Every structure is written in structure tokens, then in C-alpha cells.
Amino acid sequence: MVFRETTQARLKVLLLIVVVIAGAALAVWFIEKRNRAQLQASASEHAAQSGGGSISTTLPATPLPSPTPDASSTLSTTPTPQVATVMPGAATPTPEGLQPPAQNPSNVESFVGTLKLIVPVAGVRSDQLLDTFSDARSEGRVHDAIDIPAPAGTPVLATADGEIVRLFQSERGGTTIYQLSADRRLIYYYAHLQRYADGLAAGKFARQGEVIGYVGDTGNAGAGNFHLHFSIAVVSDPKRYWEGTNINPYPLLRR
């Protein structure tokens, strides 16, 4: 009797163990199946987003809106010239990427008020001057200077302070003087002189009003046509004083 009870108790314990093991195995199987399902769903979703795999997404055809033309599509193939309006006395526009000069060489007005010049011939008043800057000369040349008539031997004066950079005997200009302005931007040119003032030499700094020569008719002035040929040029390199751009001395001496 005791043996039978013991055997039954062992069977119950064994059965309980089997049930527990089976339940645990079933739980493990269920968890693995769920994880595989989740992994497959994730893989399918990734393939659909990246355009790969066997999943295709078909969207209904939606008509695209007509593109709105921008400003460039409405431009004509032929560019329209831009016209700049420049008021009198206003600065001339300068193309982009280029730096403007300190003064516009062709604009005499830019020097008015900044240059304090005197008439370079003794005894001649500013109201006696004539504007011959644009007059024609031989060989198709333009004068680019003014002529100041005066008797032979009339003192020629330095129109402003500046260094005498060269004394030169020219075929056209005759006895000439090149004077560099004190700011080294301008060349004053005196031509057709009878002679130089005593002691004048290249390198001398002449003061405004100082006698530097005398009126004559040398060069191509013509015998007996006594006058001073006077010009002003803007230079970018003081050492190349002969390459300047001429400006009209007349308005600068008439102020």
C-alpha cells in the first residue's frame, strides 16, 4: 500500500515536470516566431522605402503643376542696352573690378578748385587768354595746349610749385621745360622759349611765380610768332612724363 502511494506521488511530480518543460518550450517557440515575424516585417518595410525588394508601391497619377517661368526665361535673346544717366559734374561710373583713378584725366572740372595756378607769362591777365586747346595743327594733330602770345623775351613763370625734371631741345617745341607738380601727378610743359633762366637745371625745385625762361619763337612756332606753348598732362608714372593725358589749361587759368 505504501509502495503504491509513493509511486503515484513520483508520477505526479514527473508529470508536473513534463508539463513545465513543455510550457517553457512552447513559450520559447512562440517568442522566436514573433521575433521572426517582426524581423520580416522590418525587412519588408526597409525594402519598400529603399525601392528594392519585391514590394512595389503604386501611387495614383497626379498631374504636375505647370512650371512658373522665372525672370531669366522671359529675357530676350538680344540684350537691352543699359543707359546710365550722368548728371553734370557727377562722377563717371567705373566698371566693376576696376579701380577709378584719383582724378579723371579727361575731366578738367575735377581739377578746378584743387589747382591754384597762375598765368605762366609775366604781365598777361587771365581774361586775355584764348582757348586754343582743341585747335587743329599740322599732320592731323590737335593742339592739346594753349598759346599765350607775348613780346620776345617776356619772362616765363612757373605756374605752380614743382621740380624741373627736364630741359629739352625739341624739333617742334624748340627750347622746352618739363616741370613735375609738387604732388607728382601733373606735368607742366613750356615750349618755344627763347632761352632758359640763368641757373635753371633739371632737378631744381621751382617756386610758383619764379622766372624759369623767356618767351621766344623756337621750334615750329614760326619766325616772329612769339608765344608760350603751355600744356598740362596727367601722368601715372612721373618717370615717364612724356606719356601723360593732356587736359585743357584754359579753364584752370581763367578761374
CATH class of the domain whose range is 114-254 = mainly beta
Q: Is the pLDDT of residue 91 over 80?
A: no
Domain ranges within the chain, ordered by starting residue: 1-45, 114-254
Q: At CA 139, angle to CA 220 and CA 134, rounded to 5? A: 85
**Distance set, CA 202 to CA 29, 110, 122, 168 (Å):** 113, 29, 22, 10
d(CA 105, CA 236): 10
pLDDT in tens, 215-236: 999 998 999 999 999 999 999 8
CA distances from 5 to 8, 10, 13, 136 (A): 5, 9, 12, 149
- pTM surpassing 0.75? no
Task: Indicate if the alpha-carbon torsion angle 85, 91, 92, 98 is positive or negative.
Answer: negative
Cβ proximity of 90 and 109 under 8 Å:
no
pLDDT digits (tens, 9 = 90+) for 6-24: 777 778 878 888 888 887 8
Q: What percent of the chain is helix, strand and coil (3-state, nearest 5)?
A: 30, 20, 50
Residue 47: partners with Cβ closer than 8 Å, 6 or more residues away: 53, 54, 55
- The whole-chain average pLDDT of the chain stands at 74
Who has greater pLDDT, 246 or 150? Answer: 150
pLDDT for residue 138:
61
Rounded Cα distance between 181 and 222, Å, is 29
What CA–CA distance (Å, rounded) separates 163 from 157?
Answer: 13
Cα gap 117→129, rounded to integer Å: 14
